Structure formats: structure tokens, C-alpha cells
Amino acid sequence: MSQPAPDLSAFEPASLVGATLDGRYELTGHLATGGMGAVFRAQHVHLRKEFAVKVLRPDLTTSPDLVERFRREAEIASALEHDNIVKVSDFGRSSEGYLFLVMELLQGESLFERLRREGVLPPAAAVPILWQICSALEAAHARGVVHRDLKPENVFLARTSSGREVTKILDFGIAKFMDPASGSATQAGVVVGTPEYLAPEQAMGTAVDARADVYAVGLIAWRMLVGHHPFKAEDARGLLMMQATRPVPPMVEWRQDLAAHPALVAAVAKACEKEAGARHQSAALLGDALAAALGPAFMIPPGATPAPAPSLDGLSPVQLRELLRTPSQAGGARTKMLAILAVGRARVSRLFTERLPRAARESVHQVRAHPVAWGIGTAALIGLAVAIGMFAHSRGRAVATARELLASNRALEARAVLDDALEHRPEDPELLELHTAAEQGVVRAEQEARLSRARTLHRSGRHAEAIEAYAAARAKGPLDDVALADLVSDLGRERSLADRATRVLRDEGARAVPAVLRAAATASGNHRLRGLTLARDLGAEDQIDRVAAWTGLLADSDCELRRAAARRLGELGDAAALAALRKAAQAKTETKGGLFSKPKQTPACGAPDADAAVRRIQAARLSPRR
């Protein structure tokens, strides 16, 4: 019997809540809607276990190509068993004709949402996420699968029941099995994927392999560390042209503070090379380079799976040397060990072991004493892994490393070291004390990252975005002197920007007073008026010479400023303003007369206000005091 045709009317995901697909999955809530369908929270009616169920839009089920793409996503994703790839457990078509995909239910947010909220991530927060992406990709690439549509929306930062965050790659919907027989990973001339993160070879519709995913990770890293995408175009076609032809600019052009992380800048730049042969030749090598950029503070995220080591068969001496040049970090230890076995113990063991801590070197020396084990490699790998593990979990080393990192203002890295140590010694008072210090340092570092992004926007002339970024930073903590100076300078800009800056400064309160008073006393025109008005709102106007500040506006070319100054001086009632007010009250404006009449002089704009202020001050002086 054929399946009933699905309803091709407008897809309304909310209407499916409460439905049961294939008699097994009850849709209990709507989570999200995308271009191909919607994702629901669901419960298996027999197992009573919760899942996420992706339902294809009914109108798309009439397209054989899209149905095949959906089926391929299920096939590929279910075959990829890795901690950093979302698990797919089922696929089917309901009796109503809905195609659906069943996945593990994740709690958390996408990288896109994180970046939209935070703007930019500091290196110590970005690298562990990127390393997990690389680990997942290497697992996929090892099975001949290229994702081809990596972007922040397809990277999910899942929160486990224990509170640990794990990065997951989603949506293998346009992934492709590399076909060795054809020598091409995709059909030539066909462009697939999201333009913002397409590799040049994808943009040009030429052959694609795993290095296209490396390029996408490079651009994602660029976006995470800088705060925006490196390219901006009017439309998708323009963006594709940039991807195909324009070099990715250095990150330090936008974030000069990243110059303190040259290895990280170099790793991202290499991943973003236009020529596939100039990039890291595998996701594992990119992951190793990113991890190495953080130095000894980098540790494999708890529960994460290191990338599998690629086969070294057939690698050229140049490629083997690239493996050996990569500092030993996390998942790279296994790859490097295999490289040692491939090129010979005597030639490279000294260079390699010099980079390991003493415990690891001793382990390698012990392994070296057993030629059979060395030749096979298994015991060597086990011995090295144990030694590195013992080193990483050493309490004394953790304390020393954390203190060193805290002393150099690398609190996020210190916290990662302490998190790992506390898993083994959760009640250790010294570790707990250091962890508290690290948490406080992380808060400061995150605030500095927000402020750095806002400063960058302000320096580049994007003042509206900068003010919003400063407002977001102020919601998380106090602003620094540079931020306050930037916002006070914005008081002199167009009214909409000045009003927004005023709100942020008013929220900052007493800390904003010194910067506001400087503008009130030394600026001119509207800038001074807004500074004076804000100083008054903050209760700080009496901390400057108010008469001098306001009388300075009586001669301004703007009539409204003269009137505002006169009115305020009248309110202040200070006799020291009388001389300037009388002069302003006597100011005349000459108007041309007619053919037979003389020019006329009339009171200048603001003169009546100045005269009223004079009378008000004099009346106050003559009034008997009570």
C-alpha cells in the first residue's frame, strides 16, 4: 500500500506538537524551525526516553533530491560514532507521510547564539571548542565523509547533566562520501553550502575534499576571535567571489591584542589559505596547532575524544616533518608517536622526548628498551599516554601551572587546569581557593574581551555598534576609563547616538562622573550642553565651575544652546553670571530694511531669555531672606 500524500499546505510546526510519529515518537514541544523543516522535543512512547526529532517540511518530500539528502544525512550521521558529533539513532516516514530523523536531545545553545550574545571569545575559550570540532571532523574524514556546510549554526555547545560543556557538530545534510574512484568529493560545477563559510574550491564548484572543512574551521575561528566575519558583501554572489579570490585578512588588523598569541594567529591564517595545499592537510593537524598555541595550559576537554591518528602510509618526508614540527598537545601525541615509528627511533626520538615532561620522557626511555614493543607501537603509545596522563593530573603540577597562569592573567586557562585537577581531588582546599581566584579572573577576562570588541568597533567608526557593545559590557560589569572616554566623546555626535551613550553613562553612575565633568567643562556646543545636563542628572554639576561652563554657551552660534544656557543660569541664581547675561541680553540682530527704510536692529535669539535670567537673579538678591 502506498503512503498517503502529506499535506502540502503551509507548514506550521506548532500544529504537530502532540502528534505521534510512526507510533513511537510523541512530539512534546517545538524547539526550532529551519530551511528544511523543524526540530521537536519528543518522547519514545515505549522507552520513555527523550529525543530530538527533525521533521522534513511536507512540501519538500515531493523533491527526490531533497528526500535523498535527508536520507543521506541519517545514513552518514548514524555511521559517525563520536562524542563531538550529534548521535542519530533512527530515521523513518510516518503514516501521514512525514520524513523524520531521531537524534539525541541536547541542552545548551549553538555557537551562533553564543557569538551573537558574547560577540567575541577569548582564545582560551575558543580553542577548546575549535579543537573538539577538529576532533569530530577527523573522525568523519577518516570514514571518507566531508561535512561541507560547517558554520556556527551547525556547532552546538551542549551542556551535560553534570554541567560540563561539550561541542557537537550537527547537520550532515549536504555531507558527501569521498569517492576514491572518481577522485572528486563532489560533482564539478555544483556549489553547495553556506556562502559565509565556503572554501574557495566550493565557491568555484570544483572538486572538494576534507581540506574544505579545514577552511571552514579557520573562518569560524576568525569569527570567534575577532567578533565578525572577515568578508562583507551585498549579496551571496559577491560573497562567493570574495571566498574564491580575496585573501582572508590577518586577525590582528581588527584585534591588535591577538598579536600576543602569534601561534594562534598563524594557525588560523594557515587554515584560511586559499590554496588547499597550503592549509593544514588534516583536521587533526589544525587541532594540534590550535592546542599548541595555548601552550601547556591546553588540556583535552573532559570527556572529549581525541581525533584518531591518520594513517601515515604513503606520507612524504615533507608531510612527516610537518607532523613532527607540531608541538605535542592533546590528541597530537598519538599522531606524533606514530610519526616517530614511521621515520625511525634513532633519528627523531631525542627531538620528540625533549618536548615532554620528565615523567613522560622516562616512560619513553623504558619503552625504548623493549624493541618488540617499540616496533609494534602499542606499548609505546600506552606508556606515553599513561605518562602524559600522570603528568596532567599531578596535583603539584596543576597548582604550579595554575599559579603561573594566574600570574600572567590567563585565568580561563588556569580554570581549565584546576577543573581537571578538582575532578580527582574535589575537596582539596588549595585547589578550591585557586579555582575561586581563577573564576574571578575569568569574569575579568570575559569583561575585557567585551570591552576590547567595543573599542575595536569604536576605533573603526562603527559608533552605533560600539555603544551597543559597551551597553552589553556594562550589563556584565563596570566599564573602564577608555570605554567611558569613548562614550563621553559620543555625546558630541548626532542626537540618536548621543542619547544612547547618555543612557549607558547614566547607568554607569558615579564611575562615569569624572569623564562627564571633563566634557562639561572643556567641550563646546552640544557636546558641552549634553555633558552639563548629564552631570546634573548624576548629581555632580556642583563639582565644576557651573557659571563658567554655562556662560561659555551664551555666545554659541546655536540659538537653542544660548537659550538653554540663559535659562539654566537664571535657575542657578549666581550673581557671578550677571555680566555675561547682561551682555547676551543686549545682543542685537540687524535686519535689512526696504528700499526707502533703514536697517532694523532686533534682540538676538536668546537675548530675551538672558534678560529674563538677569531679572530673576536680581529679584532673588533683593528678596528679603527668611
User: Which of 46, 6, 9, 2 has the alpha carbon at shortest distance from 25?
Assistant: 46
Alpha carbon 91 to chain centroid, angstroms: 33
CB 450 within 8 A of CB 119: yes
Joined together, the cell numbers standing for residue 197 give 563559510
Contacts of 422 (CB under 8 A, 6+ apart): 428, 431, 432, 435
Grid cell 585547589 is found at: 431
| DSSP one-letter code for 210 | T
Phi and psi (nearest 5°) for 612? -65, -35
Q: Where are the beta strands (DSSP E) in 99-183?
A: 99-104, 108-110, 145-146, 155-159, 165-169, 176-177
609 is catalytic: no
Report yes or no: 573 and 547 within 8 Å, Cβ to Cβ: no
Query: DSSP 3-state assignment of 100?
Result: strand
* Nearest by Cα to 584 from 533, 622, 550: 550
Cell numbers at residue 131, please?
A: 579543537
Alpha helices in 523-596 (DSSP H): 525-537, 546-551, 559-572, 578-585
Give whole-number Cα distances, 575 to 242, 569, 612, in Å.
66, 9, 14
Are 131 and 291 spatial neighbours (Cβ–Cβ below 8 Å)?
yes
Beta-carbon neighbour count of residue 484 at 10 Å? 22
d(CA 303, CA 285): 20
Q: Which residue in the list 149, 171, 213, 486 is annotated as catalytic? A: 149
| Triad 108, 111, 116: Cα angle to 5° | 105
- Per the listing, cell 587554515 goes with 271
The cell for 523 is 567641550
Which amino acid appears at position 516 of this protein? V
Helix (H) or strand (E) holding 600: strand 600-603
Cell matching residue 13: 510546526
Q: Specify the amino acid at residue 49.
A: K
Grid coordinates representing 196 are 559565509
Only one residue has cell 573522525, namely 139
d(CA 603, CA 590): 9
C-alpha 392/C-alpha 300 separation (Å) is 10
Residue with cell 606524533: 336
Active-site residue numbers? 149
